[in-house]
Amino acid sequence: MPHPPELYVGLMSGTSLDGIDAVLVDLGEAQPKLLAKHYAPFDDALRNDLLALHQPGHNELHQTQLASNQLARLYAAAVNALLNTANSSNTKIKAIGCHGQTIRHRPEHGYTLQIGNAALLAELTGITVVNDFRSRDIAAGGQGAPLVPAFHDKVLRHSDSHRVIVNIGGISNLTNLPPNATTSGFDCGPGNLLMDAWCMQHLGKPYDNNGTWAASGKVLPALLERMLDEPFFALPPPKSSGRDLFDMAWLRGKLQGGELAEDVQATLLELTCRTISQAIRQYCAGATEIYLCGGGAHNQTLHRRLAALLPGSGIQTTDVLGVDGDYLEAIAFAWLAQQTLHEKPASLPLVTGANHPCILGAIYPA
């Protein structure tokens, strides 16, 4: 007998700073059912404001709160557009799971900060909001990220096949799903964020469509080695990262001057592919299936290079498994909100390094 619908909204705005992914999901059955999706891009002004908040600046507490309120209004507009698309009302929604926009992630100092005023979002939508998913895990000694591997474990695990799920957003991370063994996962390093920033600086475009510009350049071995010397790459998991480390200042510190812009782009793409492939070989031995999701899954140059570095792995996107790779993270945060309301732990200590599983999230009732 089918279970009654249990509708949740998931909102994700990630390190790429491109916009908001919104989904309406029925979580009443064992497998999530995606009912509607909506994408709301950030404008340049907001993107620049959010980028600026990653560094100390004048009156930054005030600016952070203003940006938090602006995000809440954009989140609310995205929810309303989503519900209009689905011809659904707010009264049918159990909760919104909202990741928020990360502007600091410093688990080594015991804190993380995702903004997007959840109280205002609940007020504007009339829907209970669950947010701040990372802090409880950090309080328990964990990294607070990545959080999506728990969802991968729930919906993408196979009883016989050894799968690896690779999310290539601003930062790339992987989930290792070996059959008959415990799920693990961690951040690998830069995904799209440095490539996107370099592309914007030199071409005035938000990203390198299909990696065409990177494909026009050549990899600079010495530059690649300086990048790979970053201590983060040698750290054993659990580990997580973000713009606090991998920003344009980090990249400029690796350049010697005189490099062709397209060669730097090619080297950045190689860095993303090399760190992902090395992580899979080192920590996911025996994997036979690799599935990509996130914006980087659309980069055909990146896809081909990963396939060359991981021969025989049959790299595909999560779409072939019935999960839309562009909206997988948003679906995951809908699921995380459900876990919170059901008072179920949703963190994996092997992934984050926490001392124990935790019930994640802060609840703002409608």
* CATH number of the domain bearing residue 73: 3.30.420.40
- pLDDT per position as a tens digit, 295-313: 999 999 999 999 999 998 8
Q: Looking at the predicted structure, is the pLDDT value of residue 1 above 70?
A: no
Q: Average of pLDDT values for 231-238?
A: 97
Note the pLDDT tens digit of each residue in 309-327: 999 888 999 999 999 999 9
Residue 125 and residue 19 in one domain: yes
Same domain (yes/no): 213, 246: yes
* Claim to verify: residue 208 and residue 288 sit in the same structural domain: yes
Would you give the distance in Å from CA 177 to the centre of its chain? 18
pLDDT beyond 70 at 362: yes
- 176 and 34: one domain? no
In angstroms, the CA 250 to CA 24 distance is 38
Render pLDDT for 240-287 as a digit per residue (tens, 0 to 9). Answer: 999 999 999 999 999 999 999 999 999 999 999 999 999 999 999 999
Residue 314: the pLDDT is 85
CA dihedral 350, 355, 356, 359 (to 10 degrees): -100
- Give the residue-averaged pLDDT of 38-53: 94
Work out the end-to-end distance of the chain between its first and last CA atoms, rounded to an integer number of angstroms.
31
Q: How many domains does the chain have?
A: 2
CA distance linking residue 2 with residue 279, whole number of Å: 41
- pLDDT interval class at 292 (50, 70, 90): very high
Domain annotation covers residue 150: no
Are 129 and 213 found together in one domain? no
CB 121 within 8 A of CB 129: yes
Q: Examine the pLDDT at 89 and tell me if it is beyond 80.
A: yes
**Cα-only R_g, the chain:** 20
User: Do 85 and 36 touch, CB atoms closer than 8 A?
Assistant: yes
Q: Give SS3 for 289.
A: strand
List b or e across 93-131, with b for residues whose CB sees 16 or more CB atoms inside 10 angstroms: bbbbbbbbbbbbbebeeeebbbbbbbebbbebbebbbbb
Task: Say yes or no: 204 and 348 in one domain.
Answer: no
Q: Which domain holds residue 359?
A: 7-143+327-364
What value does the mean pLDDT take over residues 138-149? 96
Specify whether 188 is located in the same domain as 311. Answer: yes
Query: Are 295 and 340 found together in one domain?
Result: no
Same domain, yes or no, for 184 and 278?
Answer: yes
Q: How confident is the model at residue 209 (pLDDT cuts 50, 70, 90)?
A: very high
Question: For residue 310, is it within any domain?
Answer: yes
In whole angstroms, give the CA distance from residue 143 to residue 111: 9
247 and 107, same domain (yes or no): no
| Claim to verify: residue 200 and residue 336 sit in the same structural domain | no
Q: Which residue has the tokens 């996130």?
A: 294
d(CA 123, CA 366): 7
Average pLDDT, the chain: 96
Mean pLDDT score, 7-15? 95
Q: How many residues are listed for the chain in this entry?
A: 366
Number of Cβ within a 10 Å radius of residue 217: 19
- pLDDT, residue 268, reads 98
Are both 19 and 113 inside the same structural domain? Answer: yes
